[in-house]
Amino acid sequence: AGSTLYGDVDIQLATGAILRNRGTVRLTRSWFATGRYVWDRLPTPADSLIVLAAYANPTFTSTNDSIGILSLQSQVAQFVDMAGTAVALHRLHFSQGLWLTDALSNLRLGPRAEAEGFRFDRFVNGPLELANGPGSATARLLPIGKDTVYRPLTFFDIQNATASLTRAELFNADPTATGAPGQRFQRLSQQRFFRVDVPVGSLGTNVEVRTPWGPTDNYTVAEFSFLRLGIRQDPSSVGDYDTLRTVNRTGAAVAGALRSAAPSFGPTNYLVLGINKLEAGTLIAAPANINIGDTAQMQLVGADLGPDITRQIFRSQDGGAFNPLTSIGGNQTALNSYTVFRTT
């Protein structure tokens, strides 16, 4: 039937020692452990470590990377403080509240781990890790958010033949603080971006990523169809956010989810939602050194915006009505030449 531990629990195990358990352990207050804590059998809903709601905002702390908790469940209405905790999970269940992690936490979903019960008021507030490997699903969800904002990340088509590790965190901060101005977007998401680290292995080259959007993401209802996901690798580089091809968009204008293709993730990556700047358009006048009524050839040269972007070229003879000429891939920097007219 398991056991209930009242008050503060402090477990100090010698190096190499293992504390084994069968059944459910219920905590009413705080947990501090040094060493390895495991279950003897496969996890079931009855084989869990449950943090009860008897004490407001308890702490759950471990100082050893090798601690193994198969199933973790919270029944705390507000949050469970897991700052600095290293825990490997087979199951993460949300009944109430938040799991609060920080930069020193290693809360990790194992290769076959499941998260359940998450929603807008039940998520991991801070970084969460995802271990992948043989037997892992190719689609994995990280139920993360920050403060009152819930923004889960889902990765699709993960390469799981070899072991990899992903660590993701949401920041309610200025995306340009990562060193990139976002010049390839008309406007970036308001005060929000993801950091995705892949310190071990690779997620593969065909990964797609999905994230929700909402009314606080700095767009108007008329612009929601122009929402794009941008990615930037390596915070020390001078590169800007690259616009990713939109694979699928679901939901209404006020809220929904955006699924995008992504290049192979590097060790450190930043993801941000924004309005694609290309939608604003650019007007280029005919050269001033040709006579009225004459024609000239003009070659357009643009920045490399990646293979998933398309430029639309229009021409007007009177400055009023513009007619489409052609479409050009965004990764072409030297574009074709076009005939232009000077009418005034």
How large is the average pLDDT for residues 17-38? Answer: 67
Specify the pairing of strand 140-142 against strand 124-125. Answer: unpaired
Place of tokens 């009242």: 6
pLDDT (0 to 100) of residue 128? 94
For residues 305-326, one letter each, b for 16 or more C-beta atoms within 10 angstroms of the residue's C-beta and e for the rest, the string is: bbebbebeeebeeeeeeeeeee
The dihedrals phi and psi of 188, each to the nearest 5 degrees, come to: -90, 160
How large is the average pLDDT for residues 89-102? Answer: 81
pLDDT (0 to 100) of residue 193? 92
Distance between CA atoms of residues 51 and 76, nearest Å:
7
pLDDT band (50, 70, 90) for residue 20: low
In 125-250, which ranges are continuous DSSP H helix?
none
Q: Does residue 126 surpass a pLDDT of 90?
A: yes
How large is the average pLDDT for residues 317-342? Answer: 61
- Do 48 and 27 contact (CB within 8 A), yes or no? no
pLDDT, averaged across the chain: 75
Instruction: Return the DSSP state at 119.
Output: B
Which of 157-171, 213-227, 248-262 is predicted most confidently? 157-171
Of the ranges 59-63, 164-168, 208-212, which one carries the lowest mean pLDDT score?
Answer: 59-63
For residues 262-273, one letter each, b for 16 or more C-beta atoms within 10 angstroms of the residue's C-beta and e for the rest, the string is: bbebeebbbbbb
Specify the pairing of strand 227-233 against strand 242-243. Answer: antiparallel
- Do 152 and 211 contact (CB within 8 A), yes or no? yes
* pTM value > 0.85: no
Of the ranges 103-112, 190-199, 201-210, 313-322, which one carries the lowest mean pLDDT score?
Answer: 313-322
- Tell me the pLDDT tens digit for each residue of 137-167: 889 999 999 998 999 999 999 988 889 999 9
Q: Helix (H, G, I), strand (E, B), or coil: what is residue 107?
A: strand
Higher pLDDT, residue 8 or 37: 8
Q: Helix (H, G, I), strand (E, B), or coil: what is residue 83?
A: coil
Which of 81-85, 140-144, 236-240 is predicted most confidently? 140-144
Instruction: Return the DSSP state at 163.
Output: -
How large is the average pLDDT for residues 35-48? Answer: 55
Q: Does residue 66 surpass a pLDDT of 50?
A: no
For residues 219-231, one letter each, b for 16 or more C-beta atoms within 10 angstroms of the residue's C-beta and e for the rest, the string is: beeeebebbbbbb
Distance between CA atoms of residues 278 and 275, nearest Å:
9
pLDDT band (50, 70, 90) for residue 279: very low
pLDDT band (50, 70, 90) for residue 324: low
Distance between CA atoms of residues 201 and 182, nearest Å:
28
How large is the average pLDDT for residues 274-300? Answer: 63
In the chain, which ranges are continuous DSSP H helix?
none
pLDDT (0 to 100) of residue 141? 94
Q: Which two tokens stand for residue 67?
A: 């601690």
Higher pLDDT, residue 5 or 272: 272
